[in-house]
Amino acid sequence: MHEIYTASSSAPVNIAVLKYWGKRDTNLNLPTNSSISVTLSQKDLRTLTTVNSSRNFEKDSLYLNGVSHSIENDRTTNCLEQLRSLRQQLEEDDPNLPKLSQWKLHIISENNFPTAAGLASSAAGFAAMVAAISKLYELPQDASELSRIARKGSGSACRSMFGGYVAWEMGEKLDGTDSKAVQIAPPEHWPNMKAAICIVSDLKKDVSSTSGMQTTVQTSELFQYRVNQVVPPRYSQMVDAIKNRDFETFGTLTMKDSNSFHATCLDSYPPIFYLTDTSKKIIKLIHTLNDAIGKVVAAYTFDAGPNAVIYYESENEEVVLGVLFGVLSNVDGWNEMNSATLKVPEGVPLSS
């Protein structure tokens, strides 16, 4: 009988308020701009991953929501290779350690939300996998250092290594060692921040983020302007808005950045359309609501798909959700049954 070593970790989904869109190095997954996100709470949208290791296992395997998936892809292989080499260094320093770096892994992951809904599942998935394996291997690296490994799985995954308000610093080095996630503020810094997820469609997106952003980098002139002129000042304004709990600025920048990102998609050739008519109705509705109240009480943002995430503060919940449900339940394509109200963020840094 051989021992089985096991560890589990979970990572929540994060939703960017300053979008990552574009790679300067596709192998190392290095971005063309820094980005900022909010990590949702563990109990709402998260991936839970358990990893087992034994000298008897014949091959690495991955189960996602009970279904076997191939592990033979560059993204997963890259992450596993790096984690194994860090473990190997520990084993070389202490020959009494079991040689986990040489053994195969069984990885079992579960999402507590529909994977097909296009809700940044790969971000939570890679972050949970890296966190679980680093726990199994008892690696001394902190969450920021581990975020560099998660980044290679999926860029946005590096931000899910932390709870709360998180920046992915693009870095400057060619080897990517300074392209990592850092926490701007913990979840409890802004306790009344909430998010509502509006599922407009749970169909798989027709242009993946990975290929969509490459088309944008290669063909959009507007993209150069976004990366060089728009994002750098916006980054420091967003950090300040978060630190000051300034919802007016946070919300305004969030909406502008979502619009700027989707504008570069439209400026790509051929153009990429992620927003649907229902998405556009949500955008108009939020502006009408904010105008009627006379300040920004709700802010929308859209990733590479038609689903909206609406950030708001809890004292405005009744008016924000009342308007959303009241108006949108009559809109074709709006699925009220699928929409969820999510309190954010309660995640804790995964390193703790």
Single out the residue of 152, 178, 117 nearest to residue 305, CA to CA. Answer: 117
Residue 66 DSSP class: T
Q: What is the largest CA-CA distance in the chain?
A: 69
| Span near ligand DP6 by CB under 6 A; candidates 16-24, 60-68, 252-260, 329-337 | 16-24
Contact flag: residue 156 with ligand DP6 (CB under 6 A): yes
Judged by CB, which is closer to ligand DP6: 100, or 130? 130
Judged by CB, which is closer to ligand DP6: 128, or 304? 304
Judged by CB, which is closer to ligand DP6: 44, or 303? 303
Contact flag: residue 161 with ligand DP6 (CB under 6 A): no
Q: Which two tokens stand for residue 51?
A: 């990893």
Judged by CB, which is closer to ligand DP6: 100, or 350? 350
Site string for ligand DP6, 190-209 (x = CB under 6 A): -------------------x
Single out the residue of 296, 285, 292, 277 nearest to residue 321, CA to CA. Answer: 285
Report the distance separating Cα 6 and Cα 100, nearest Å: 11
Q: What 3-state class would DSSP assign to 310?
A: strand
Q: How far is the CB of 334 from ligand DP6 (least distance, A)?
A: 22
Q: How far is the CB of 135 from ligand DP6 (least distance, A)?
A: 23
Contact flag: residue 122 with ligand DP6 (CB under 6 A): yes
Contact flag: residue 19 with ligand DP6 (CB under 6 A): yes
* Alpha helices (runs of H) in the chain, residue ranges in sequence order: 74-93, 121-136, 143-153, 209-219, 221-225, 231-243, 247-266, 277-293, 317-328
- Report yes or no: 156 and 20 within 8 Å, Cβ to Cβ: yes
Contact flag: residue 303 with ligand DP6 (CB under 6 A): yes
Chain residues in the site for ligand DP6 (CB under 6 A): 16, 19-21, 29, 35, 122, 154-156, 209-210, 303-304
